[in-house]
Chain A
């Protein structure tokens, strides 16, 4: 009797819960989830084979019809960052470290003195929206070349000023990484200007990454350190980025 009652209740719960039936299949360490996640390797390999070093589409001034929508962190609160905003980032330094022969510490003046690239591109958020803006900055490849990467370097890791989350062990600062193929792509720039003005705080001042062939979350804002590494295992939970550690694709070309 009890079993029958349980069965009926279970059936009713199943009917009510709709798609909850499939939720267990996507639990964190389930074999099925591993299978679903395997698409990322195939997607990355296929896209890399198709796009090579091709450029993301670029647009015209007439296509800029609105401001760039800020998302994620929009106003970092750390004391060090606050102080810099009051002095127009005079004391800002971009550190390039890790597997390099010539570590760098570059001021905004140093960065703007380097040759720059300007591009009008579409920013695609993982949520589904798009926004077109003009970005100006120094090609990341040029900055890396200054630092002379060692032959063992495979990834560029970006460390940021913005605490995106506060948990039991303290503040989690945004981190992201790309491989050196994307790092040396001509459209991959460290942007310091947007739509003809210095980069606003909401959009990542003083320096943010643009990786035009991937989604918005790859384009770390408030970057203070670029670290070249040969592995992503030591970073966060080991997937290579704040959002990848939370279930999103590390390769965000789709």
Chain B
């Protein structure tokens, strides 16, 4: 565990927005899965193929010898997922009740909460982005040349679970946070907007950029999966790097660094 001095690492705005985003993404994901349940397949193109097949992912249910089976199809390969996907608690539903908000099927409520938190996310991201551009925080997230040179060593250290606790983020942290904040979340917002028939009139070029509304919907879903991947690694890193120190830093801003000459 680090033994060096405490440093003030996350300013108040960063801490507040971090938690607002955490709550928002939690609701966005679970209401998103509720919305997905209304049409649980993902397609490539301008529209969803009914008379032809442009699906790359689908969750369905079918009856086999009097028993209902949950089926998940990924790129033509079929998997039986009874109990989890397709059929859960004896009910035909793509994503189980434990993973949707609300737990019962309600597209209307799911949409309402989804769009509410979408606004919360967009507004807080915009405020954070402007403030961070002004106060220099943005630069702390973008890897420098020296950072990139240190990348191989940082990868080795992480693989050996040897973490450095510095006053600034290490290069893998910078890459991870920057890809969420500058790639994944903007992609979520833009693909989300591409699904809006109203917004399509404002920015039809977005549809062309993503290759059509249904492709945008597919990218929206896949980016959600990537964000879950980030969340899992994020949690693992907190546990491995010293959960008390990490939690203190994102709650109070104060972070205990390594002693010695490491910054």
B19-67 interface with A by 8 A CB criterion: 30, 35-36, 38-39, 46-52
A51-63 to B contact mask, C-beta < 8 Å, 1/0: 1001111010001
Min CB–CB distance A198 → chain B (angstroms): 20
Q: Does B76 contact A (CB under 8 A)?
A: no
* Chain A: CB-nearest residue to B97: A18
> Are A39 and B214 touching (Cβ within 8 A)?
no
Q: Does A124 contact B (CB under 8 A)?
A: yes
Most buried by B among A19, A33, A37: A19
Chain A hits for B113, CB < 8 A: 26, 36
> Are B201 and A213 touching (Cβ within 8 A)?
yes
A63, A213, A214: the one within 8 Å of B46 (CB): A63
Q: Given that A66-B50, A127-B39, A214-B198 are contacting pairs, would A38 and B102 also be in contact in the complex, using a CB cutoff of 8 Å?
A: no
> Are B217 and A66 touching (Cβ within 8 A)?
no
Min CB–CB distance A25 → chain B (angstroms): 9
Q: Does A128 contact B (CB under 8 A)?
A: yes
> Are B39 and A131 touching (Cβ within 8 A)?
no
> Are A213 and B200 touching (Cβ within 8 A)?
yes
Chain B hits for A125, CB < 8 A: 39
> Are A19 and B202 touching (Cβ within 8 A)?
no
> Are A19 and B46 touching (Cβ within 8 A)?
no
How long is the Cα–Cα vector from A132 to B98 in the complex, in angstroms? 35
How long is the Cα–Cα vector from A20 to B98 in the complex, in angstroms? 7
Min CB–CB distance B77 → chain A (angstroms): 23
> Are A65 and B49 touching (Cβ within 8 A)?
yes
> Are A19 and B99 touching (Cβ within 8 A)?
yes
How long is the Cα–Cα vector from A57 to B118 in the complex, in angstroms? 24
Q: Given that A23-B103, A212-B197, A247-B106 are contacting pairs, would A35 and B116 also be in contact in the complex, using a CB cutoff of 8 Å?
A: yes
Q: Does A248 contact B (CB under 8 A)?
A: yes
Question: Looking at chain B's contact residues, is the secondary structure mostly helix, strand, loop, or mixed?
Answer: helix
> Are B48 and A18 touching (Cβ within 8 A)?
no
A42-50, A90-98, A137-145, A165-173 - interface stretch = A42-50
Min CB–CB distance A63 → chain B (angstroms): 6
Q: Given that A22-B101, A65-B52, A214-B197 are contacting pairs, would A128 and B111 also be in contact in the complex, using a CB cutoff of 8 Å?
A: no
Min CB–CB distance B193 → chain A (angstroms): 8
B102, B118, B201: the one within 8 Å of A55 (CB): B201
Q: Does B148 contact A (CB under 8 A)?
A: no
Q: Does B100 contact A (CB under 8 A)?
A: yes
Q: Given that A54-B201, A254-B199 are contacting pairs, would A122 and B115 also be in contact in the complex, using a CB cutoff of 8 Å?
A: no
Chain A hits for B51, CB < 8 A: 65-67
Q: Does B108 contact A (CB under 8 A)?
A: yes
Chain B hits for A252, CB < 8 A: 197
A9-21 to B contact mask, C-beta < 8 Å, 1/0: 0000000011110
How long is the Cα–Cα vector from A167 to B204 in the complex, in angstroms? 42
How long is the Cα–Cα vector from A129 to B45 in the complex, in angstroms? 11
Q: Does A6 contact B (CB under 8 A)?
A: no
Chain A hits for B195, CB < 8 A: 124, 254
> Are A248 and B103 touching (Cβ within 8 A)?
no
A194-220 interface with B by 8 A CB criterion: 212-215
Chain B hits for A83, CB < 8 A: none
Q: Does A150 contact B (CB under 8 A)?
A: no
Q: Does B239 contact A (CB under 8 A)?
A: no
Give residues in A with beta carbon < 8 Å to B. 17-20, 22-23, 26, 33, 35-40, 42-43, 47, 50-51, 54-57, 59, 63, 65-67, 69, 122, 124-132, 212-215, 243, 246-249, 252-254
A to B CB contacts below 8 Å, 27 in the list: A17-B97, A17-B98, A18-B97, A19-B97, A19-B101, A20-B97, A20-B102, A23-B102, A39-B118, A50-B202, A54-B201, A54-B202, A56-B197, A56-B201, A63-B46, A63-B47, A66-B47, A124-B195, A124-B197, A127-B38, A129-B39, A130-B46, A132-B46, A243-B108, A253-B197, A254-B195, A254-B199
New contact pairs (9) apart from A128-B35, A213-B198, CB-CB < 8 Å: A19-B30, A26-B113, A35-B116, A39-B112, A40-B112, A63-B47, A129-B47, A247-B108, A254-B115
Give residues in B with beta carbon < 8 Å to A. 30, 35-36, 38-39, 46-52, 96-104, 106-109, 111-113, 115-116, 118-119, 195-202, 204, 207, 213-214, 217
